[in-house]
Structure 1
Amino acid sequence: MNEQLFEKLDLAYEDMVVIRRHLHMHPELSFKEVKTAQYIHDFYANLGIEVQSGVGGNGVVARVKGARPGKTVALRADFDALPIQDEKDVPYKSTVPGVMHACGHDGHTAALLQLAKVIFDLREDLAGEYVFIHQHAEEFAPGGAISMIEDGCLDGVDVIFGTHLWSLTPYSSIEYRTGPIMAAADRFEITIQGAGGHGAAPHQTKDAVVIGAQLVMNLQQLVSRRVDPIESAVLSIGSFMADNAFNVIADSAKLGGTVRTFSPEIRDLMEQEMRRVVEGTALTNDCTITFNYFRGYPAVVNHQKETEFLQQVAKTVPDISAIVESKPQMGGEDFAYYLEKVPGTFFFTGAQPVDAAPFPHHHPKFDFEERAMLIAAKTLGAAALDYQKTE
């Protein structure tokens, strides 16, 4: 059956590319993916596949039942874009100013749509049920996964598989990992209220820039001096704003950044220690500092049995040349929420361009090797079919 699946997917590859490029040219931001959701819905409806729109917002869920009873396998793809100007010189460049698919979600969607079509064609020879979860708003917390789960997208599901096309990983490779594979992604905002004044009389002020600089340096020591070296954590300050004339001491300043962790205990520690540093700095400088910490997605933690199963399945996909145990990635993913509810695994499909320079995800010139979509579809499809044989 897998051979038939692979053959049909090979034939569907050109259509996969057409879909991907259409979506790439017409991107939509998180929570605003109205036309993309309609496109996905219409694809299924035109094939006669059971499909539901408006799942948890803009999510779309399709279901295909095999002719025989069996397990229910869910496969997930995301479809939102990013607020980035597309700087690629390609025929399928984004037509929407300031918005582009800079993370591969267009490829995820195209691969899953064509895989669903092939499984639908094979349904009379299949056992079980196949749930195709097209998720909105992966890029912006709280994300779309939570609301889709609350709206029933995982009802009756026994296992879930997902993949991410990865532009810096060699094409034709698969990267897997048991346990944490992507980090919890939190953000924070710090507002310093000092006392501004003339640059010539700093003694009469409470300089928000100097206070902010102290915070930056003190916060950067938390990972090296408060976190066990065996554990992992990242604290990055991405913005520091205090715009004034050259001879004005800042009355206020704002800082923003992100914290990435894998362990719930380290996540709690970082928030606790950041709060302590902020409060201590406010006391030392006799000023007011507001600290807001926003918890984003939890860490993506793959289940061992399902990850080992996926690793074995990947060996049966002829297009794959390397199967590698991945290092944990500090990027975040709300696929984490699915794995908190049902067993499953999330893996990376190597999509580094073969004939062009690779750019990282979220870069204005991001692109990927389109043939990686075919590998992703084959791997997900083989996992879905072979899971019916497991105990």
Structure 2
Amino acid sequence: MTAAGLVRRGIAAVAVLAVLLLILGQVLGQPILLGYVATGSMEPAMDAGDGFVAVPSAVTGSPSEGDVVVFDARELHDGGLTTHRVVGETDEGYVTKGDANPFTDQDGGEPPVRDGQIVAVAWQINGEAVTIPHLGTAIMGVHGAMESGYGLFASALGLTTALEGDNLGAMLVALGVALFGVGFLLDHGGPHRRDTTRSTSRENVYAFWGTLALVLFLVVGLATAAMVVPAGTYEYAVVSTESPTDDPQVLAPGGTSELTRAVDNAGYVPVVVVHEAESGGIEADPGWQTVGPRDSGETALSLSAPESTGEYTRHVGEHRYLAVLPPSVLVWLHGVHPLAAIAAVDLVVVGVVVGATLLLFGRGDFRIRTAGNHVPFSTRMRRRLRRWR
């Protein structure tokens, strides 16, 4: 291949990677190396539709005044990712503002932004954000087409869930893990060539690898749902008043109180539950715990009121992971990113399902005979187990 051909391929690969990163970041609610602004609130530094390099907050640490940050807003745009500049800092959090806006976000009703809400910082050189013109415009068009396609698909199947949120991101991770597992097996353990015409013409015979793929999708999807559905962010109202009551959420200015939050596990697999403060004025003890199958636990939430009177909200996040790995490992992976812990659990589930299937049934195709003309299931299972003695 010529040098020009290599350059063209390299440019195409970079473009495809940029599109995939932006779409995936939009779906997951977490910019992945690249982000974009959808409105003109940051003009003239960033025009509507411009892309930018998003450095994860885990790398940059706490932002400074003048930094352009991507944060998970509570009120702006009905909640969601917002890209604005830090223009000040208070005891409650950061003050943010779009460069083109005449007032700060906090003047408009957005609570001060806490470190836990900031997911990325725009890369700046000499105080100027590095932008990629019109990159976001193209991505918004692609994302809109995806939403339209999903809407048609969902209406045909009677689905009511929207194409957004961390839950969908986790389910995409689950799907990717399952595909990885099946692809790895097909590449390393499956047949390199297969006479599909002969196998599909046999009555009551089901291809091993195809059947295993369906089982993996089902089991991994259920495992991911068991972790994602009960998780979420919980809000607690705190009233700072000169007339406190016995209610632990009605406090004197600067006062603290404690209330208990129940943690239930309705499943048959132990779970590791991580509690994470997502705003100031709240702490959880313990920060994580293991809850056994069909069991429950408790965590103590410590609430504090600011010195000024008024009504405030405190947020705590709850994340759940099936305890198929040591709890300390899951907690560490959660610290990297919640999706990393979910992916690790899904990989373990894939390994268990594949290993059990190969142990019990081998690699042969599944043959299901008609009733009355087959060996009882219990007898067949004993024969399978006898092979491994």
Relative to the length of structure 2, the TM-score reads 0.26
Q: Which is bigger in relative contact order (C-alpha 8 A, separation at least 6)?
A: 1
**Bigger-Rg structure (1/2):** 2
Relative to the length of structure 1, the TM-score reads 0.26
